[in-house]
Amino acid sequence: MRSDTPPVSRRRVVVTGLGVRTPAGNDVASLWRTVLAGHSAIGPVERFDCADLPVRFAGEVRDFHAADVLGAKGARQTDRVTHLGFAAAVDAVSDASLGRPDPQRCAVVVGTGLGGIASFHDQVQVFLTHGPTRFSPRAIPMIMPNATAAVIASRLDWTGPSTCVTTACAAGADAIGEGTTLIRNDLADIVIAGGAEAAVNVLGLAAFARMGALSLRNDEPSRASRPFDAGRDGFVLSEGAAFVLLEERDHALRRGARVYGEVAGYGRATDTYHITAPSPGGGGAVRCMRLALADAGLPPTGIGHVNAHGTATVANDASEAAAIGEVFGPASPPVTATKGALGHLIGAAGAVEAVVSLLAMRHGLVPPTANFERPDPDLPVDVVAATPRPVGVRPVLSNSFGFGGQNASLVFTPAD
C-alpha cells in the first residue's frame, strides 16, 4: 500500500466548530491555555467521598451545572455523561454559527466507553436498599450508551442519522471518523461528532483501580499522569466531553464559515493480542496509523507532530512508542500527550485530543507533555516537554487506542 497516493475525488470534510467540558475548564480557551502551559488539571476528588478507595484523585469537571444547559427537569432525567456531552455539543454548534441548516442533512455521532455508569451505580443501590419496585422509570434511558446522542439530536431537532460508538477509549476518535464517513458518503452535510464520559464515581475509580490500571500517587495527584516518563505508574481517570462540528467543505465555504482544519485521514485496526493489554510491538497501532496516512494521501514525512494516546501506563506507552518508531522511522516527528495535563477521559479522550490537535496545528505549536521529566531510554520517541515547540502549520496525526484491541487514528490538515 502506498501512503503517498492521493485519495480519489470525494467530498471533503472540515471542522467549523469546537466545544468542550474538561478538567481544564468548560471552554476551548481554558483548555488550550492549560495544555499549552503544560499544567496539570488533576486533583483530589471533591464531588463524593472516596476515603475508602485506593485511588482518591481524578480529573473532575468543576463549576459545571447541568440545569444551566438542560433545565432542571432535563438534568434530573439524564446522566452526567449526557449533561457534559450535550453542553459541549451545543457549544460546538454555536461556535460554528450554523444558522438554520436542513435538519435532515444534519447528523449526530457520539462516542462513549461506559455510558451512564453513574446512574447504573445509583440504581443498583436503590435496588439493593429498596427492592425492584423503586427503580426510577427513567433508569434505562439514563443508563443506555446512546442517550447522549438521542438528547443532542432531539434538542437540536436534527433528523439525520444519530449514532453511538462504544469502542472504549477509541470512541471519541472513532465518532469523528464515522462522522467524516457520513459526510464523505453524502449521507449528511453537517455532523456534530465527539465523545463524552462521566466515569469519575465510586464504581469507576474502584473498578479501574482493581485492574491495576490507575496511578497510585495519592500524595501528589497533579504529578500522577506522566505519559512516556520513566516514572509512569498508571493513568488518571478523568471525565468530560468534547465535540467538533464537521461540515462538507463546499457547504462551509458557501456560508463563509471559519475553518479550523480538515479531517483528511481516518484509520481503524484491531489488535487481537489481549482484551486490555496492547500488543508489545504495537502491531494494530502501526496498521491504524498507516491506514490514516493512506486515507489522507500523505507520506509519514508529511506529519508535523503526533498527539499520542499516551495513557502513562507502562505497557501502553511502550507499545505506542514502538509503533510510532515503526511508522515514522528514526526521524519521527515530535510527540505530545494531552493526558499528562488532563488525565484519561476514556471515551471522550480521542475527541478532546482532536480539539487540542486542531488548535496546535492552527497555532503551529506542539504543546508540552505535562509531567514529562525523565525520558525512558527504551522509548524511541521525541516527546515535547517543558515548553511548546514551534513546528509551523503542518498536518497532525492523533492516536486513540482502547480496551478490546480498538485502534483509531485521525489526520488533520490545515485549512487551504
Secondary structure (DSSP) of 138-159? THHHHHSTTHHHHHHHHHHT--
pLDDT at 3: 47
Beta-carbon count within 10 A of 99 CB: 6
Distance, in Å, from the CA atom of 266 to the CA atom of 244, rounded to the nearest integer, reads: 15
What are the residue ranges spanned by the domains of the chain? 14-254, 267-409
Catalytic annotation, residues: 169, 309, 344
Helical axes 117-130 vs 202-210, angle rounded to 10°: 100
- Residue-wise burial string across 205-216, b where 16 or more C-beta atoms lie within 10 A, e elsewhere: bbbbbeeebbbe
Query: In this structure, what C-alpha cell is assigned to residue 149?
Result: 446522542
Residue 144 burial (10 A CB sphere; 0-12, 13-18, 19+): middle
Is 267-409 in CATH node 3.40.50.2000? no
Secondary structure letter of residue 78 according to DSSP = S
Tell me the sheet residues that pair with 194: 110, 243
Distance, in Å, from the CA atom of 195 to the CA atom of 350, rounded to the nearest integer, reads: 7
Distance, in Å, from the CA atom of 348 to the CA atom of 59, rounded to the nearest integer, reads: 13
* CA 73 to chain centroid: 28
Contacting residues for 74 by C-beta, under 8 A, at least 6 apart = 66, 67, 151
Query: pLDDT in tens for each of the 416 residues of the chain?
Result: 344 554 568 999 999 999 999 999 999 999 999 999 999 999 999 999 999 999 999 999 999 999 999 999 999 999 999 999 999 999 999 999 999 999 999 999 999 999 999 999 999 999 999 998 888 999 999 999 999 999 999 999 999 999 999 999 999 999 999 999 999 999 999 999 999 999 999 999 999 999 999 999 999 999 999 999 999 999 999 999 999 999 999 999 999 999 999 999 999 999 999 999 999 889 999 999 999 999 999 999 999 999 999 999 999 999 999 999 999 999 899 999 999 999 999 999 999 999 999 999 999 999 999 999 999 999 989 999 999 999 999 999 999 999 999 999 999 999 98
Topology, domain 14-254: Peroxisomal Thiolase; Chain A, domain 1 (3.40.47)
pLDDT at 2: 43
Query: In this structure, what C-alpha cell is assigned to residue 70?
Result: 438542560
Element (H, E) at 290: helix 283-296
Beta-carbon count within 10 A of 128 CB: 8
Distance, in Å, from the CA atom of 49 to the CA atom of 73, rounded to the nearest integer, reads: 26
Contacting residues for 170 by C-beta, under 8 A, at least 6 apart = 111, 350, 400, 401, 402, 406, 407, 408
Phi, psi of 58 (to 5 degrees): -170, 180
Distance, in Å, from the CA atom of 113 to the CA atom of 208, rounded to the nearest integer, reads: 13
Q: How far is CA 309 from CA 11, 181, 352, 356, in A?
A: 28, 22, 11, 12
**Strand segments (E) across 132-260:** 162-165, 190-197, 240-248
pLDDT at 135: 87
Distance, in Å, from the CA atom of 284 to the CA atom of 381, rounded to the nearest integer, reads: 18
* Cβ atoms 97, 252 nearer than 8 A: no
Phi, psi of 286 (to 5 degrees): -60, -50
Distance, in Å, from the CA atom of 390 to the CA atom of 334, rounded to the nearest integer, reads: 10
Distance, in Å, from the CA atom of 132 to the CA atom of 137, rounded to the nearest integer, reads: 11
* CA 125 to chain centroid: 30
Phi, psi of 116 (to 5 degrees): -85, 60
What pTM was computed for the model? 0.97
**Strand segments (E) across 29-160:** 43-44, 57-58, 106-111
Common-topology check for domains 14-254 and 267-409:
yes
